[in-house]
Amino acid sequence: MDSETLARVGYLALILVALGGWVMVEFRQRMGQALRMALAWGMIFLGMMAGYGLWRDIRQDILPIQSVQDGAVEVPRAEDGHYYLTLRVEGTAVPFMVDTGASGMVLSARDARRLGIDPGSLTYLGQANTANGVVRTARVTLKDVELGPFRNDSFRALVTEGDLDQSLLGMDYLGQFRMEFAGGKLILRQ
């Protein structure tokens, strides 16, 4: 245990001792009431932990998720009005925002690192015009890209040098599908 962790544990222990001492003095004649209060706060804390642990399951009901129906990929429109697709790129799930105004598949630096691509080692020879101005881009080839039942064995993408919070799925990729917007859903078919 390093000195910083030891200091944090010591600080937490000091707070717990002070809080425990206050409870003993304040409730010395009413220990039953103190135990009921401690139990109530413990249940609240456990409820919050359970809610946090179940968030992944609950989130699927709140946030739109894509599904495969009759050989087509369907994704509902999100609350912000955009469509988000998750592709498996070289075995890693990568979330993309559908951007029909973008020409290529653009990976954020964060997603590129998740795929084992070091953005610092790339050669940025291209440029892209974005809503935030012109950014430099580097070409990469992704060996395996899957969207539901659809698969590309080799697909060219761009990694941006600029700040990009979300990877973008542009028309180079989307152009291989028949796209339909119906009932608040984006439906992709080949």
| Per-residue model confidence (pLDDT) at position 49 | 82
User: What Å distances lie between residue 155 and 10, 14, 109, 142, CA to CA?
Assistant: 53, 57, 18, 5
| Per-residue model confidence (pLDDT) at position 155 | 93
The whole-angstrom distance between residue 151's C-alpha and the CA centroid of its chain comes to: 22
* E-state strands within the chain: 67-69, 72-76, 84-89, 92-98, 106-107, 126-130, 133-142, 145-147, 150-152, 155-160, 167-169, 178-182, 185-189
Give pLDDT tens digits for 111-145: 999 999 998 899 889 888 777 678 889 999 999 99
CA distance 95 to 89: 10
| Per-residue model confidence (pLDDT) at position 166 | 87
- pLDDT of 98 > 60? The answer is yes
For the residues 53-64, what does the mean pLDDT come to?
Answer: 61
**Mean of all residue pLDDT scores within the chain:** 86
Q: Structural domain boundaries of the chain?
A: 3-59, 66-189
The residues facing 68 across adjacent strands are 73
CA distance 67 to 73: 6
Domain 66-189 has CATH 2.40.70.10: yes
Confidence at 96, pLDDT banded by 50, 70, 90: very high
- pLDDT of 179 > 90? The answer is yes
pTM: 0.65
